[in-house]
Structure 1
Amino acid sequence: MPVPLSPSAEARAFLADPANRNCWEFNASELPTMRADALTEAEACAPALAARHGVTLDWEDVAGIRSLLITPESWDGKAQLLYLYGGSFIMGSPLEDLFISSTLAARTGLQVVSPAYALAPEYPFPAGLNNALSVALALRPCAIAGESAGGNLALSVTRELLAKGIDLRGVALLSPAADMSPQFDPSDAPDDPTLHIPLVEEMPGIYAPGTDPFDPRLSPLYGSFGPEWPPCLITTGTRDRFVGICAQLARAMRASGGYADLRLWDGMWHVFEYYEAIPEAAASLAEIADFLNAHVGTC
């Protein structure tokens, strides 16, 4: 697929660089080193990011789960956003998504709480979901946001909270991995430079071995939606391997009487908001913050 002309020069350069094509395949023996390297890099960048966005970073146990609290100067001491990072359920940490979470904290005035939920394969489904739900029940946040695997968890946590009579003001989902079933064929999806097809195909078995792939807790797309659902913003791109899933999710929400705002970015790939050097990332995060500001209000 040729590089489209409409994205920014930075995005076009990213797409044209072969070094940005993720061809990594799952190897359990490599995970500890990959996680450690990613965390080391994130820790080095964190102070500058926090200073630039005017937020403080603190670690605290919430419901027994180590969590990063990202607090903007304008925080009112009450309103919180639960943020769930991505990483295919096997990678990721609160610090690695700090560009996204600190931007949202600065632009919304919400304290962002990002729990270090359990990762597979050491802790398979539903360990990570249970961690995220425990934190949500302890916080009772105004809103929830998540990207990729974190978007999957955000959907499932929202459904669990609603079942317990706990309302949310809004949900923001960045390229959510809402369908882990065989119904989703990644080979039919766009040419995404950051999601390698074999990894996408292997992930359900690594994350949730022996689980019914249509279980709504694993594949939230197949759960019920209704007018009781909070307003939802979904962002994706025309190159996102999950763009079809995002479209189906928005349709399912609307068909059940819910509010779903699907934002499709031309030429963008899976969770492009993660890439700080891409102007579209900041632009999309600004729109997400505007959505949260409009719906959270005085929580």
Structure 2
Amino acid sequence: MLFRRRDVLNFWLRTVEKRKLAWLPTVQVQRQNFELQAMGFPREWGLKDETIEIGGVACRKLTPKGARGELLYLHGGAYIMGSPSTHCALAGTIAARAKLQVILPDYRLAPEHPFPAAFNDCLSVAKALSSVSDGLIIGGDSAGGGLTLAVLSDLCRHDMSPLAAFAFSPWTDLSFTGRSLTTNAQTDAILPVERIYEVRKHYLQSADPTDHRASPLFAPFKNAPPVFLQWSDSEILADDGRRMVASLQAQNVDVEAKEWHDLPHVWQLFHDRLNEADEALADLYAFLDAQFEALEITR
């Protein structure tokens, strides 16, 4: 039998990493584990790497030669872990290959800083960038994908819409009404569904899970720019992606979306090692190229 890299990756994640995530005892240990794992992701060299402050928030800035615009990238990590360091490999690859200067905010994490701290930090950076750039892209993965869409909604309400937005495996519904949380509990290669309720409690504490700043599935998107979404049919957040597309389309947003088959949550992190990750990113680059070509026409 011929095993594909996807099959090997899924087996390893399901038998090792998913079990580890299910029993790691504290938030601090989960953060340390994520930081260590991220050191193994392939990195793009030749980028200017700086630490700056934007909108009162510490950020990491990665700049390639010939950058044509800015990307505000909001990292995932279930609102309790993750950092610019855990996602600089993926963000740096996008920076170099899409020719974008990437800003990664070091937004505040729960439970020390519960909702809406993460949203407020990301919105502050987004507003500061929107005021100086007409070529701003906003993107993110998992919880960062949810933040991306929540921030996009707020920017649109204030007539500060970016050029476009994208999200990988976005977490868009913290009220947990998606069926895939149950139907995909076994097929999801990495996320243990039993811990998602604990994570939500860390982040929301007593806040309303349907607040659109936490759950952009319920957000307004009047006059929003084009949005690009990717997720896997086997992950527990699959319905978050599917229903997000339906919500955006119902509000007349131009959406380019694709549901991939039997891939782990945010498989794009495995770029340069997994063919499907490289193909998914190639689709993103084509989407971004189209947005910048349209921008040049209007200039």
Same fold at TM > 0.5: yes
Kindly provide the CA deviation profile for residues 175-220 of structure 1, in whole angstroms up to 9, marking residues without a partner as x: 1000000423512335101110111222221110111111111111
Moved more, 205-214 or 32-41: 32-41
Q: Indicate yes or no: 2:256 matched with 1:261.
A: yes
- Are the equivalent residues in 2 in contact too, given 1:39–1:95 (CA < 8 A)? yes
Shift of 1:73: 1.2
| Correspondence for 1:137 among 127, 131, 146 | 127
Residue 35 of structure 1: how far off its partner (Å): 2.2
Residue 24, structure 1, aligned to residue 18, structure 2:
no
Alignment of 1:284 onto 2:280 = yes
Identical aligned pairs, as a percentage? 28
Q: Deviations over 1:161-183 (max 9, x none)?
A: 11111121111110100000042
The residue correspondences of 1:230-249 to structure 2 (distance < 5 A) are 230-249=225-244
SS at match of 1:49: coil
Match of 1:152 in 2: 146
Aligned residues: 285
Could you say if the C-alpha distance between residues 41 and 268 of structure 1 is closer, same or farther in structure 2, counting changes exceeding 3 Å? closer
* Partner residue in 2 for 1:229: 224
CA distance in 1, matches of 2:19, 2:274: 17
Partner amino acid, structure 2, of 1:72: P
Q: Give the Cα separation in 1 of the matches to 2:11 and 2:152.
A: 38
Cα distance in 1, alignment partners of residues 119 and 79 from structure 2: 10
Q: How many angstroms does 1:106 deviate by?
A: 1.1
Q: In structure 2, how many angstroms separate the alpha carbons of the residues matched to 1:64 and 1:256?
A: 33
Could you say what the CA RMSD is over the residues aligned between the two structures, in angstroms?
2.1
Where in structure 2 are there 5+ consecutive unaligned residues? none
Give the conservation status (yes or no) of the 8 Å contact 2:11–2:189. no
1:39 aligned counterpart, secondary structure:
helix
Question: Aligned in 2, Cα 1:265/1:235: closer, same or farther, shift over 3 Å?
Answer: same
Q: Which residue of 1 aligns with 2:211?
A: 215
User: What residue in structure 2 maps to residue 126 of structure 1?
Assistant: 116
> In the alignment, is the contact (CA less than 8 A) between 1:20 and 1:194 conserved in 2?
yes
Give distance in 1, aligned partners of 2:123 and 2:16. 37
- Partner amino acid for 2:96? A
User: Which runs of structure 2 are paired with 1:163-174 in the superposition (5 Å)?
Assistant: 163-174=157-168
Q: What displacement does 1:41 show?
A: 5.5
Contact 2:43 2:90 in 1 (8 A): no
Residue ranges of structure 1 left out of the alignment (5+ in a row):
none
Residue of structure 1 in register with 2:72 after alignment? 82
